[in-house]
Structure formats: structure tokens, C-alpha cells
């Protein structure tokens, strides 16, 4: 197994499991632009060849998980390492799913680790993750930035199946994101829903009874962001969900609560269209897979 999967990232589940899968991606800079140099995987987790709708400097990569979701005992570990002066956008062709847990409540886990060196850009823009009623999951995202590396990412999580009038039930979810810059923690977020904190789903200081929760992060911004925040807040106010934009330690955060993941994706995509030119000097270019 690649050295990327160190003890911090890969902690095998001791109970019986179906898939212990990993995917290690390595990107480098060549005369052909940003290229996928290494792709080491185990289990049903891999990527298609990169696409270049913006030209050779930016690689759009589609993360594929053929089973379509996590069942009890599954553990997926996704890691990406970039060389300097590379620009990678990673997305998924469809929603991720975490299915109902078995009676033994064995965890369903996914860990993502993104290493972004100086002069590099990472955009982590997966489609929504659907947590089925009574799932039992742990979802972790680690981002390591170095020097003047830049990052844009989002996570949209749907608790239960609201279109079918099914809530999260007795499900448990431990969801976290952590961003480090040159080894220093710049941002850490965690949402824990379990038997001890289930009131969080309905609480005013929690999800306020909304089944879809979204967080978008972009930065670091070294320039003044007042005008940018004003533009993002206008977009949030125009949306009929609960949404807002703030600045935390040079990172812009957009939070949203609602009952429709498609509407939340549209909001985040509009925000991306405002943020991307300001942060990386390029207009937004939606991956083609989003239109299918």
C-alpha cells in the first residue's frame, strides 16, 4: 500500500467488512500541462482519464465508485498528491450513498486526504452524499496546504430520503473537515449526530429540522474580501434556504441548510462562479459530467 496511507488515515475496521478500498492519485506538471502520473487503487474505486475542458493546465477528474454506496464494513480511503504548479478539479458523476447499516452497526467510512503544494490548486467538488435512514457512518476530509496553495471545496449531505418522507431515523454520522497550512490547523469543522446528540437535527443551533446540510470552503484569501462577501451574501439571500457567507482566518465559508440537494448544488455552483475568478483568476468551468 502507498506510503500516503499512514496510520492517521488508514485504521482498518476489525469487524467483518465487504470492501477495504483505496485510491492514490499523483499529479505532475509536464509539457502537456497537469497530468495524472500515478493511479494506484485497490477495490472498486478508481478514476477515468482526466478531461481538459479549460485547456491543458487544469485537469478535471471523475471519481468512480461502481457499487454506488457504502454498506456496513466498507472503508474507502482517497488520497491525492500534486506537484507544484498543477491545477486539479475532482468531482463525481453522481451522488454518493451510505446505505442502512446492518444490525451489528458496523461503521461505513470514507476518508479523503488532499496534499496541495505551493503554486498548486485543488478543487474538491463532489456531488451530494445521501445518508440513508439508520446509516452509521464516519466521513473525514483532510486538506494539507503548503506555501501559497489554494483550495476550493464543498460537501453537501442529505440526511435521510426527504423526497420519500423518510428521515435519518436512528442513524449516526460523524462528519469532519480539517485544513492545515504548512502544518498549522487553519480550520476544523465537525458534525456529530448520534444517540447522544440527535436533538441537533431539530435544534436552532443545529440543522433546524432541515435534512440537507452544506458547507463550502475557499481560500486562503490574502486580499480584502469585503466586496466578495457582499456578492456571496446577495446570492445566499436570493436563495430560499437558510444560507450565509463568512470569513474565518483567510478562508471564506458558505453554509446552507435546506430540503433540496439540487437547489443547494445550484447555490454553491453560483457561489463558485463568484469565488473562482477572485481566488485563482479563472472563470468557473463546470465539469461536463454535471450536465448529464
Is the predicted pLDDT of residue 4 greater than 50, yes or no? Answer: no
Q: What is the pLDDT of residue 14?
A: 45
Q: What is the pLDDT of residue 105?
A: 92
- Give the percent of the chain with pLDDT over 70: 94
- How far is residue 103 CA from its own chain's centroid? 28
DSSP for residue 123: E
pTM, two decimals, is 0.92
- Per-residue confidence band for 48, with pLDDT thresholds at 50, 70 and 90: confident
- Per-residue confidence band for 18, with pLDDT thresholds at 50, 70 and 90: low
- Looking at the chain, how many residues does it have? 292
Q: Quick: pLDDT tens for 186-218.
A: 999 999 999 999 998 988 888 999 999 999 999
Q: Quick: pLDDT tens for 81-103.
A: 999 999 999 999 999 999 999 99
Q: Quick: pLDDT tens for 167-186.
A: 999 999 999 999 999 999 99
Amino acid at each position: 500500500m502507498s506510503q500516503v496511507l499512514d496510520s492517521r488515515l488508514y485504521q482498518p475496521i476489525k469487524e467483518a467488512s465487504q470492501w477495504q478500498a483505496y485510491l492514490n492519485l499523483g499529479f505532475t506538471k509536464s509539457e502537456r500541462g497537469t497530468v495524472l502520473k500515478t493511479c494506484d487503487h485497490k477495490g472498486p474505486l478508481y478514476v477515468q482519464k482526466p478531461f481538459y475542458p479549460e485547456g491543458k493546465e487544469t485537469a478535471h477528474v471523475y471519481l468512480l465508485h461502481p457499487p454506488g454506496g457504502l454498506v456496513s464494513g466498507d472503508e474507502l480511503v482517497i488520497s491525492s498528491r500534486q506537484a507544484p504548479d498543477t491545477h486539479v478539479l475532482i468531482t463525481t458523476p453522481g451522488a454518493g450513498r451510505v446505505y442502512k447499516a446492518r444490525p451489528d452497526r458496523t461503521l461505513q467510512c470514507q476518508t479523503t486526504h488532499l496534499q496541495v503544494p505551493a503554486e498548486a490548486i485543488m478543487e474538491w467538488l463532489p456531488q451530494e452524499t445521501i445518508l440513508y435512514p439508520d446509516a452509521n457512518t464516519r466521513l473525514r476530509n483532510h486538506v494539507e496546504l503548503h506555501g501559497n496553495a489554494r483550495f476550493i471545496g464543498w460537501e453537501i449531505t442529505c440526511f435521510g430520503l426527504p423526497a420519500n418522507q423518510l428521515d435519518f431515523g436512528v442513524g449516526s454520522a460523524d462528519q469532519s473537515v480539517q485544513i492545515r497550512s504548512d502544518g498549522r490547523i487553519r480550520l476544523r469543522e465537525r458534525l456529530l449526530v448520534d444517540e447522544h446528540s440527535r436533538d441537533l437535527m431539530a435544534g436552532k443551533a443545529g440543522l433546524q429540522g432541515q435534512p440537507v446540510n452544506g458547507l463550502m470552503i475557499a481560500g486562503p484569501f490574502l486580499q480584502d474580501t469585503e466586496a466578495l462577501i457582499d456578492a456571496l451574501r446577495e446570492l445566499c439571500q436570493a436563495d430560499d434556504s437558510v444560507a450565509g457567507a463568512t470569513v474565518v482566518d483567510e478562508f471564506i465559508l458558505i453554509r446552507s441548510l435546506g430540503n433540496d440537494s439540487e437547489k443547494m448544488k445550484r447555490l454553491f455552483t453560483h457561489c463558485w462562479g463568484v469565488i473562482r475568478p477572485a481566488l485563482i483568476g479563472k472563470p468557473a468551468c463546470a465539469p461536463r459530467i454535471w450536465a448529464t
